[in-house]
Amino acid sequence: MRFLNFTGALRHRNFLYFYTGYAVSLTGSWIQTITTAWLVYRITGSGFWLGAVTFAGQIPAFIFAPIGGVLADRCSRKNLVLTTQVILMIQAFLMGVLFMTGMLYIEVIVLLEIFLGMVKAIDVPVRQAFIIDMVEDKDDIHNAIALNSILFNSARLIGPLIAALIISRAGEGWSYFINGVSFTAVVFSLLIMEIKEKILSPVDSPLAGELLEGFDYAFNNAPVFTLIAAGAFFNFLPVMVLYPVFAHDILSGNSGTYGLLVSASGMGALLGALFLANRRSCLGLGSAVSIAAFSLGAGTLVLSFSSSVSAACILCFSVGGATMILNAGSNTILQRICDPAKRGRVLSLWIMAAMGASPLGSFAGGMAANCFGIQPTYLIAGLIGLGGVIILYFYIPSVNKALAENVIC
C-alpha cells in the first residue's frame, strides 16, 4: 500500500486553513462528548439516561438536516459554517458555567443536547458540501474527504484521553471551557479565508419545493437510496453509546477504562480512514462498504462475549474501523455519484438517516441494557447487523456500477 499523499487537498490554501483550525476544535468537541456521557452516567447510574441524552442530541437531525442541505445548496456555506461554529462555542461555555454553579442537572443537559443537535444538524451537511468550495481541483476531492475522516478519527483518538485526564484531575466543568476555547481556532481559519462559492439553487425558490425535490431525487435513484438506507440501518446499532455501561458493569472500570474503549475505537477508525485515503481509485468502494458492514455486525456480536479490557479494546478497534469505512465510504460515493446541484440535499438526507437512526438506536439500546444487561444487548445488535448485511449484499452491485459510470479518479 502506497503512503498517503498529504499534498493533494492540503495544497489548497483554504482547505489547509480550515483543516488546521478544525483539528483543534474537533478535539475539543470530542472532549465535551466524552465528558457529557461520563457525567450523565456518573450522576444517574442509568443506561436509560445515557441513551436518552444521546437520543436528545441526535434526534434533531431528522428535522433539521434536510433544511441544512437546502441551505448548503442556496446560501454562503462559509458564512453558515462560521455561524454554527460560534453558536457551538457559546453552548460549550454555557455548559461549563452551569456545571461550575451546580445547575447542570440531567434535565438541563437534555435540553442543551437538543439545542446542540439542532445546530449540528445544520452544520454537518453544510460543512460536508463546503469541501467542494475549498478544494477547486475535483481530482483532490477524494483526498479531502479522506483527510477529513482522518482528522475526525484522530480527534476521536486524542479527545477521550484528554477528557479522561481532565475529568480525573480537574473535574468535568473544565472540559467544557476547554472545548469553548478550542472553537476560536476554526473561527479564525474561516475569517481569513478568501473563497469564491458557487450557489447552485436560486435563493428565491420555495424551501419546501427544494426539500421535496431532494427527497424525490434520492428515493428514485437506487444507488443513492441504498446508501441512505444502509446509513440508517447500521447507525441504528447501539454500540459506542453503551461503552460507559460496558466499561462499568462488565469490565469493572472507571472513566479511564471508558476512555480506552473509545480511543481503541478511534484508532481503528483512523486506520480505516488511512485505508480509504490510500486507495488508488474509488472504483469498487461499494464492496468495501459492505465488508465494513459485516465487520461491524460481527464485531458487536463477539463483543457481547468479552469480559477483559484487552479483548474489548481489540473488538472496539475492529468496530471503530468498520464504522468509519462504512460511513466515510458511503459519503465519498454519494459525493461522486449525485447531481452536483443536489449534493447538499443528498448529503443532508444521508446525515438525517445516519444521525437520526443513531439516537433511536441509543434510546432502544439504553432501555435494553437496563432490562436485559449490556451483553445481551450487544448480542442482539450484532445479530441484527449481520441480518442487514445479507440484504445489503444484493444492492451493492448497483452502487459499484453507478460509481464506475460517474467517478473520475
Taking only the tens place, the pLDDT of each residue in 332-378 is 888 778 877 777 788 888 888 887 787 778 778 888 888 888 889 99
Task: For residue 393, give the nearest of 317, 269, 297 by alpha carbon.
Answer: 297
Half-sphere exposure of residue 327, counting CA atoms within 13 Å on the CB side?
A: 27
Tell me the pLDDT tens digit for each residue of 15-70: 889 989 999 999 999 999 989 988 888 888 877 788 788 778 877 877 787 888 78
Q: Which three cell numbers stand for residue 79?
A: 458564512
Which residue's entry shows cell 460536508?
A: 128
Topology (CATH level 3) of domain 9-189+206-406 = Growth Hormone; Chain: A; (1.20.1250)
Q: What DSSP assignment string belongs to 325-374?
A: HHHHHHHHHHHHHS-GGGHHHHHHHHHHHHHHHHHHHHHHHHHHHHHH-H
Tell me the pLDDT tens digit for each residue of 280-317: 667 778 888 999 999 999 999 999 888 888 899 999 99
- What is the C-alpha to C-alpha distance for residues 31 and 176, in angstroms, rounded to an integer? 8
Which residue's entry shows cell 457525567?
A: 39
Tell me the pLDDT tens digit for each residue of 325-334: 898 888 888 8
Pick the most confident of 99-103, 150-154, 400-404.
Answer: 99-103
- What is the C-alpha to C-alpha distance for residues 159 and 27, in angstroms, rounded to an integer? 5
Asked if residue 207 has pLDDT above 70, the reply is: no
The pLDDT score that the predictor gives to residue 2 is: 44
The pLDDT score that the predictor gives to residue 10 is: 77
The pLDDT score that the predictor gives to residue 181 is: 95
Confidence of residue 3 (pLDDT cuts 50, 70, 90): very low
Q: What is the dihedral of CA 65, 227, 215, 356, to 10 degrees?
A: -30
Q: Which of 44-48, 164-168, 374-378, 386-390 has the lowest mean pLDDT?
A: 44-48
